[in-house]
Amino acid sequence: MDTSSVSPVVCGLFQTPDHISRLARPTSVTAVTKRNCDSEISRQEHLIAASILITVQNIVNIEASAIKNPWAGCKVIVQFRHSGAITTTQEMVETQTQPHLITAATHIPVPLEEKQKQTKEETMPHQPPPIHTGAQLIAHSLKSLDVRIIFGIVGIPVIEVAEACLALGIKFVSFRNEQAASYAASAYGYLTGRPGVCLVVGGPGVLHSMAGVGNSMANATYPLLLLAGSAETSAGPTKGAFQQLDAVSLLAPHTKFAVRPPSLEDLPRSIRDAYRFAFYGRPGVGFVDLPADYIQGVPKEVVQVERVEEQPRILGDERRVMAVAEALKRAERPLVVIGKGAAYARAEGVLREFIDATKIPFLPTPQGKGVLPDDHPLNTSSARSAALAGTDVVLLVGARLNWMLHFGEPPKWSAGVRIAQIDISPEELDRGTTDPTLSIHGDITSVIPQLKLHLANYHHLSSPWSNTLSASATKNLAIARAKASTPTNPLTYHRTFALIKSALESLSPGGADNLVYISEGANTMDISRSIFTVSQPRQRLDAGTYATMGVGLGYAIAAEMAYNHTHEATPSPSSPPIRKRIISIEGDSALGFSLPEIETMSRYRLPIIIFVINNGGVYHGISDNTPSWGADWWDGDKQGKRRDVLLTSTALGFETGYDVVAGGLGGRGWKVVDEEGLVRAVREAWEHRDGPSVVNVIVASGVGGRLEFGWLGKGKGGEKEKGDGGTPHDQCNATYMCK
């Protein structure tokens, strides 16, 4: 036995799983790779897992952040290969869907003969495993499409599909609810530029994932491939088969493409078509129905599909481009609105050059933030209402004239405004108040340089328009800064966010550049949006066009996977190499929609930090400011009134212990009620890298506050600024109701 070449190293990466100790031992651990580690430990090593017992047909990828050992901060990928036969489905599920449970990998010597055998195996050309079943055919099709991760929940009949994918090295992230899984998959699509994949069971699984389908379609930048199992093709529509649902009929009107492949052999082509539809043209949803007999059947022939290339970058119609350039040149008060379509199109480079050259002020939409840095001198976010009300020619770049932009109508906009537009989707053009002669169909990354050529000798001079905007911004920023810097007891939204922001930025090695914010709620999302400035594209995700509560934890998991996980065999250019910390800022109501996904984060050891802004309810929180948990909750207050009678529809549990829940779900939790406790909790949460952290921040509720439809309001723009300063009402600039 040759033991001289290996030095013993112990890495305590995983918890000991008693329940898998009865399974067979793996033959070897074949690879450990690490990023950002020193050379001593970053070379490939051979390991055998001591006390790791697992039965796997092929390969399982296991990733985790190493903690409390010499590998701290390193990403470790361990691949187990077991050549023996699969034992039972039950055992495979346990091991493959919970790979993170595997215990401490101990570096122990590899016998020489085994080492030689391994070396021989490694040098042999890689043979893809044979395709015997429909499940394997599906997995191979996804692999050919370069799918590297799947989000979902398994059950009959898709469990075999998930296992076949795992066997090919495709990561499968198991969720607790298909809503969150489908949100996560679509957000992964937004962040990587290629469709995210969600695998669910039929019937109820499809119904739950309708949430992600609607959300993806409404956002139009969150491409999603949904795959769902269904009853056997032989089952007639009225047979009452297991989880039977005519999913194609249900989904066809709500997706771009919904199909049951005409045969088992056609699965690869149908999957490729649905995948392509999901991101070619206007991004949305492709759906493939997977009957049980296809999954379990034996294909008569195997069709190989090719990876779908990036879609061609369409140039704009030159005459329209010239017309837009002319309109901008003649404008007295030009404005560029940057939407999340620009972020999705990776247009940050061309837009930066365009704005710097033309000096036209710009306004980002909530998820357009970061395409250009928030601190850019031409950013008019702090003078949003004045900008919308005052502009005479506006160019929408990847932004739509929907409710978020008040439909481009008065009184928020001036009656005579000319609205030009660049969009990848022709259906968006010439809609509402846009000017049809100024509507350009094309890819932003192509059209903006075209436009810049026509504006070569132009730049917008400092003018009364610029002065109006900067005066408005200065006034609003001063108000916002005063709110953020005034110590409060109890904590307020503004003060809470200001403290969290400065603590996080001082802890983050790359400052704000390395922080990705997810945010949902009403006040929580509105107020945090202006306080948490972003300087990079696609680093702020929120409830979006559909105003969907419940997306937060799924989005956070997707961001963690997209930014920090190297499950990709060859990382794509769209997967940034730098590790980013994912921060989720959640209203207490919003968090409740997907609370159990904290366990998902724990299971995969995702170091996501969640702040719950706990005002005891929806919008303005609990109706009664003096309740407490305990006997008197139901018995009645001092006046003898029953609490349940006192509760308004917006009230949720008072000081609900989300921090305690987090502990029970495998994460860590802190409850904070004051500034000192908050700052301490941020620091401790930052240090916790072995799973999620939940900081439950008790903030003042807005008892007695007046409900208003702030964002939807028909009020005149320009008088009060929304969101980036101003009166309490002015904080409600992007959603539904505010106090």
**Which residues make up the interface to ligand TPP (CB under 6 A)?**
521-524, 547-550, 587-590, 613, 615, 618-619, 621, 736
Give 545 or 589: the residue with its C-beta nearer to Mg ion: 589
Work out how close the CB of 696 gets to Mg ion at its nearest, in angstroms, rounded to a whole number: 12
Q: Which is nearer to ligand TPP, 688 or 729 (CB)?
A: 729
Place of tokens 């559909």: 546
Q: Within 614-692, where are the H helices? A: 632-635, 643-646, 658-664, 675-687
Nearer to ligand TPP, 224 or 613 (CB): 613
Question: Binds 492, which of ligand TPP, Mg ion, none (CB < 5 to 8 A, cut-off by type)?
Answer: none
- Residue closer to ligand TPP (CB basis): 200 or 590: 590
Nearer to ligand TPP (CB atom), residue 529 or residue 605: 529
DSSP for 26-74 reads PSEEEEEEEES--HHHHS---B--TT-----SSEEEEEEE--SSTTTT-
Q: Which is nearer to ligand TPP, 629 or 709 (CB)?
A: 709
Question: Distance (Å, rounded) from C-alpha 27 to C-alpha 114?
Answer: 9
Report how far Cα 278 is from the mean position of its chain's Cα atoms.
17
Q: Of 79 and 615, which has the nearer Cβ to Mg ion?
A: 615
Q: At 275, which amino acid appears?
A: Y
Where does this chain touch Mg ion (CB under 5 A) — which range of 180-188, 296-304, 308-316, 607-615? 607-615
Q: Which is nearer to ligand TPP, 45 or 526 (CB)?
A: 526
CB 110 within 8 A of CB 28: yes
DSSP 160-208: HHHHHHHHTT-EEEE-S-HHHHHHHHHHHHHHHSS-EEEEE-STHHHHH
User: In Å, what is the CA distance from 513 to each residue of 328, 374, 400, 533?
Assistant: 32, 12, 27, 10
When CB distances to ligand TPP are compared, the closest residue is 587
What is the closest distance, in whole angstroms, from the C-beta atom of residue 494 to Mg ion in the complex? 15
How far is it, in rounded angstroms, from Cα 249 to Cα 312?
A: 31
Q: How far is the CB of 705 from Mg ion (least distance, A)?
A: 12
User: Residue 531 burial (CB < 10 Å; 0-12/13-18/19+)?
Assistant: buried
CB–CB of 25/5 below 8 Å?
Answer: no
> Which residue lies nearer to Mg ion by CB, 190 or 532?
532
Q: Residue 178 CA to chain centroid, in angstroms?
A: 15
Q: Tell me the CA distances in angstroms from 690 to 98, 577, 667, one per residue in order.
A: 16, 20, 8
Tokens for 529, please give them: 């949006």
Q: Which does 736 bind (CB under 5 to 8 A by kind): Mg ion, ligand TPP, none?
A: ligand TPP
Beta bridge partners of 361: none
Beta carbon nearer to Mg ion, 451 or 618: 618
The binder of 551, among ligand TPP, Mg ion, none, by C-beta within 5 to 8 A per type, is none
Place of tokens 């790791």: 52
Least Å distance, CB 617 to ligand TPP, is 6
**Among 347, 355, 507, which Cα is nearest to 443's?**
347
- Picked from Mg ion, ligand TPP, none, the partner binding residue 341 (CB below 5 to 8 A depending on kind) is none
Residue from 180, 283, 210 nearest 592 by CA: 180
User: Minimum CB separation from ligand TPP for residue 340, in Å?
Assistant: 18
Would you call 699 helix, strand, or coil by DSSP?
strand
Residues 286-315 that bind Mg ion (CB under 5 A): none
Alpha helices in 695-735 (DSSP H): none
Residue 65 interface partner, choices ligand TPP, Mg ion, none, CB cut-off 5-8 Å depending on type: none
Binds Mg ion by CB under 5 A, chosen from 160, 588, 659, 730: 588
Q: Strand 105-106 to strand 10-11: parallel, antiparallel, or no bridges (unpaired)?
A: antiparallel
| Residue from 134, 316, 398, 587 binding Mg ion (CB under 5 A) | 587
Q: Which does 549 bind (CB under 5 to 8 A by kind): ligand TPP, Mg ion, none?
A: ligand TPP
Judged by beta carbon distances under 5 to 8 A according to partner kind, the member of ligand TPP, Mg ion, none in contact with residue 188 is none
Which lies closer to Mg ion via its Cβ, residue 337 or residue 734?
A: 734
From the list 97-105, 295-303, 542-550, 579-587, the region that binds Mg ion by CB under 5 A is 579-587
- Output the smallest distance, CB 521 to Mg ion, in A: 6
Q: Is the preceding peptide bond at 157 cis, omega within 30 degrees of 0?
A: yes
Q: Which is nearer to ligand TPP, 214 or 663 (CB)?
A: 214
Q: To the nearest whole angstrom, how small is the minimum distance from the Cβ of residue 218 to Mg ion?
A: 23
Q: Closest separation between CB of residue 521 and ligand TPP, Å?
A: 3
What minimum distance in Å lies between the beta carbon of 701 and ligand TPP?
Answer: 8
Cβ proximity to Mg ion, 12 vs 728, nearer residue: 728
Q: Supply the minimum distance, in Å, between the C-beta of residue 17 and Mg ion.
A: 37
Q: 619 is in the binding site of which of Mg ion, ligand TPP, none (Cβ under 5 to 8 A by kind)?
A: ligand TPP
Cβ closest to ligand TPP, residue 71 vs residue 619: 619
DSSP symbols for 352-418: HHHHHHH---EEE-TTTTTSS-TT-TTB-GGGHHHHHHH-SEEEEES--SSGGGGGG-TTTS-TT-E
Q: How far is the CB of 606 from ligand TPP (least distance, A)?
A: 22
Convert 225-240 to b/e letters by CB count within 10 Å (16 or more is b): bbbbbbbbeebeeeee
Secondary structure (H, E, C), 459-493: CCCCCHHHHHHHHHHHHHHHHHHHHHHCCCCCECH
Rounded least distance, CB 491 to ligand TPP, Å = 13
Exposed/middle/buried for residue 428 (C-beta within 10 Å: 0-12, 13-18, 19+): buried
DSSP 672: E
267 contacts which partner out of Mg ion, ligand TPP, none, CB within 5 to 8 A by kind? none
Amino acid at 177: N
Please report whether residue 615 would count as binding Mg ion according to CB under 5 A.
yes
CB of 682 to Mg ion, least distance (A): 20
User: Which of Mg ion, ligand TPP, none does residue 600 bind to, with CB < 5 to 8 Å depending on kind?
Assistant: none
Chain-centre distance for alpha carbon 1: 49
For ligand TPP, the closer of residues 116 and 709 by Cβ is 709
Applying CB under 5 A, which part among 115-123, 132-140, 457-465, 613-621 lies near Mg ion?
A: 613-621
Q: Which does 522 bind (CB under 5 to 8 A by kind): Mg ion, ligand TPP, none?
A: ligand TPP
Of 317-325, 448-456, 508-516, 609-617, the window that binds Mg ion (rule: CB under 5 A) is 609-617
Secondary structure (3-state) at 527: helix
**Nearest approach, Cβ of residue 482 and ligand TPP (Å):** 21
Residue 608 near which of ligand TPP, Mg ion, none (CB within 5-8 Å, type-dependent): none
DSSP, collapsed to helix, strand or coil, labels residue 562 as helix
Ramachandran category for residue 308: left, alpha or beta (phi over 0 → left; psi -120 to 50 → alpha): beta
Q: Is residue 605 left, alpha or beta, with left meaning phi > 0 and alpha meaning psi from -120 to 50?
A: left
CB of 589 to ligand TPP, least distance (A): 3
Q: Is-contact 589 737, C-beta < 8 A? A: no
Q: How many residues contact Mg ion, by CB under 5 A? A: 4
Which helix (H) or strand (E) segment holds residue 77: the answer is strand 75-81
Of residues 364 and 587, the one with the C-beta less far from Mg ion: 587
Closest separation between CB of residue 736 and ligand TPP, Å? Answer: 5
Q: 497 contacts which partner out of Mg ion, ligand TPP, none, CB within 5 to 8 A by kind? A: none
Q: In a 3-state reduction of DSSP, which class is residue 290?
A: strand
Binding site for Mg ion (CB under 5 A): 587-589, 615
